[in-house]
Structure formats: C-alpha cells, structure tokens
Amino acid sequence: MKILLINNDKGWSGGQEHLKDLATELRANGVEVHFVARAGSPSAARFREIGPVHAMPTHGLGDVKALFSLAAVMRRERFDIVSVNREHDLVLTALARHLAFPLRKPGRMMMSYHTATARKQLFIGAADAVVCISEHVRAKLLAGNPAVADKTTILYYGITLSPPPGADKFDPARTRRFFIGEGFPLIGMVGEFWKNQGELVDALALLVEEFPAIKVAFVGDNSDQGLFQPLCDKIARLGLERHVIFTGRIPRERIPDVFFDFDLSVTTHRNEGFGIVHLESLAAGTPVVTYDEGGMVDILRGEEVGAIVTGGPEQFAAAVAALLRDHGRRFVLGENGYRLVERKYSLAAMGQRYIEFYRRLLTGIKQNNGSGA
C-alpha cells in the first residue's frame, strides 16, 4: 500500500505531530508513506525523517506552481491513498488530481478534519471518504456540509504509551519532576493561549477560597502578546498572580513529567478537535476535568477517568474541588486513565484502525460513519 499524506502548512503543531506518529506506525506495518509539505517549513524537515517529502512552492505564483507540481507527483507515483489533512489543501489536491487523471482516477482520495469547522467545504464532494477525529468535529462539519454524512468516519488519535505510573504518582506529597518545590494542589492546562484560558482564571478565583495554596500552571507558547497579555491583565485584576505559573513552550520530552506533577489536568477550551494532551495526561495517571463541549469528551464519555462539566466557572471549580478533596477517588481515576489509553489509544491501536480503514476504502466497502475507535 502506498499513501500520500498532504499537509502544506507553514508551522508545526498537534496535527503535524499526529501525522508523523501515524506515518511512523504505518511504515512499521509495511506501508510506503510519502508527504507533501511546504518548502522550507518545519513539516518538510521533520516529515523527511519518516519518508519522501514532495515540497511545494511557497512564493509568487505558489498555488499555480504547487498545482502542477502536485499533479506531476500524483501522475508519477500513482498512490493508493491520497490523504488531505488540512482544509486549505482540499481544493488544490482535488484540482491536481483531476489534472493528473482527467478521466479514470486510480486509488482513492480522502479528506481528514483535525479541527472543528462548519464552513462550506469546496470540492469536498471530490473526496471518496471523509475522516473526522471526534464526534465534535464530525457534527460541526456536517452542519455545513450535510451531503457527506454517508462517507464520513471517525478515527481517533493514539499516542506512544510509556510504562504505567508508579506508586509515587499516587501520593499528594510526591516530589515534583518539573515544577520543583511546588506543593499540593497543582493543576494545569496545556495549550495555546487562544483556548479560553480566561474561564479557568475565573474558576481559580473560586478555588482559592477552599485551597489557598493552589497553583495553576499554564503550559504553552506565550510569545503572542495579543493573546497572552489580556490573560495576565485578568489575573492581576483578580489578585491571583501568586497562584499562577507560566511555563512557556516546553520540550515534548518533558511533557510526561509535567503531567506527572499535575494533581489534575484541566481544560476550559470548548472547541477542541480532540486533544492529544488529554491522552498524555491520562497515560501519566492524571485525571482530566473538561467542559462537556469539544472532541475530548469522546475520550471521557462513559469512562471513569475524569469529570465532564456542564455549566460555567462555578460548576467547573466545584468539579475540580471535589476531586482535589478526594485523594482516593482521584487516584482511582488516574489508574483507570492509563488503562483506557493502553486499551484504546496506543499508537499500535491507531495504526491498525487506519490500515483497516484504508483497506476498506480501497475495496469499496461502505464505511461505518460512526466511531472508528
């Protein structure tokens, strides 16, 4: 099987990490994986560690040049699967495929959605299949594109699974690995600063009444002052400066230590596509508290691994406080979280889901438009 993964973006984030992990797992199972990435981008360099990269032009008449360049790649390589992984690349890919094969088109083209959007998607009808990473993403997409309901499938992410957390994890007085010297309770949110962190600050203002020593760690790139400064202003206005830690961007290899340190991992983002960080939290034995909106709800629904909150900051703070009070309950949820990731969300499980999906797509078997987990 020969697959082309297209992500012609200029940056590197969770979506690209997912593609790299997926490609690594596919290659380990004998799949030949190629990439399309923007010339000179971080993606072009990092994907090259896995397989051939076909770099697209980025300047001047870049789109026109990219169209003919991509068509040439498709015509030459004749991929079994062409997978588009960024909505802005859908039109380009559909046109390039038509240009390469104006009559009979070999293989299959699929479109993968990693973020929630209800925008009308031009040329989505050209895709033989549509993949969404959560029910939230699927529901948003179909709100604006109902005609593709029958060809839409949910396939969940997976992560590299570390050994299960040791007994030291389940000790409120444990020594922290990253947040050296911090005591109990320490909760944290991992994500860029457009993910509604302000609502967590509102919840923190309520939590300090019961937990005067509480700290909240905000983990993520805080270099965009337009996003970061309003959050700082709000924290100062509420007098919460001593309860907040900003880490900036943290190397990926330190993320397991961050989640080991958290007593709870929390998120007030209401439009998350899925949230690999929540799998990483559960794998570290740390329960997750989230609102009942967003793709991460798929992970928690029906599982005893955290708390799903309906309402606003008051209800969110109450759910966090309840788990901070009950060490036994929190530790059971943490142990359950690791077992859940082990059972459903490992890289191996993800790879097998995708390979089975590709095989069904190639043989023309009608896809199940529900969960592919």
pLDDT at residue 366, as a whole number:
54
| pLDDT band of 312, cuts 50, 70, 90 | very high
- Distance, in Å, from the CA atom of 272 to the CA atom of 116, rounded to the nearest integer, reads 7
For the 2-158+347-363 domain, the top CATH level (class) is alpha beta
Phi, psi torsion values for 86, nearest 5 degrees: -155, 125
pLDDT above 60 for 164: yes
| Residues in a beta bridge with 109 | 82
User: Domain 167-344 adopts which CATH fold?
Assistant: Rossmann fold (3.40.50)
Domain limits of the chain? 2-158+347-363, 167-344
pLDDT at 59: 57
> How confident is the model over 240-257, as pLDDT tens digits?
999 999 999 999 899 999
Beta strands in the chain (DSSP E): 2-6, 32-38, 53-56, 81-84, 108-113, 129-132, 152-154, 186-190, 215-219, 244-248, 264-267, 288-291, 306-309
CB-CB contact of 46 with 20 (8 Å): yes
Q: Would you give the distance in Å from CA 98 to the centre of its chain?
A: 31
Mean pLDDT score across all residues of the chain:
94
CA distance 169 to 215: 18
- At residue 82, the pLDDT reads 98
Q: Do domains 2-158+347-363 and 167-344 have the same CATH topology?
A: yes
The token pair that represents 319 in the structure block: 């759910």
In tens, the pLDDT along 171-221 reads: 999 999 999 999 999 999 999 999 999 999 999 999 999 999 999 999 999
Whether the per-residue pLDDT at 62 is higher than 70: the answer is no
How far is the C-alpha of 298 from the C-alpha of 170, rounded, in Å?
A: 25
Lowest average pLDDT, out of 164-173, 192-201, 360-369, goes to 360-369
- Distance CA(130)–CA(108), nearest Å, equals 11
Residue 371 is classified by DSSP as B
Positive or negative: CA dihedral 100, 103, 106, 108: positive
Cβ-contact 90, 121 below 8 angstroms: yes
Measured CA distances, 252 to 248, 256, 296, 337, 340 (Å):
12, 8, 20, 20, 22
The pLDDT of residue 227 is above 80: yes
pTM above 0.75, yes or no: yes
Average pLDDT of the segment spanning 128-154: 97
16 band by pLDDT with thresholds 50, 70 and 90: confident
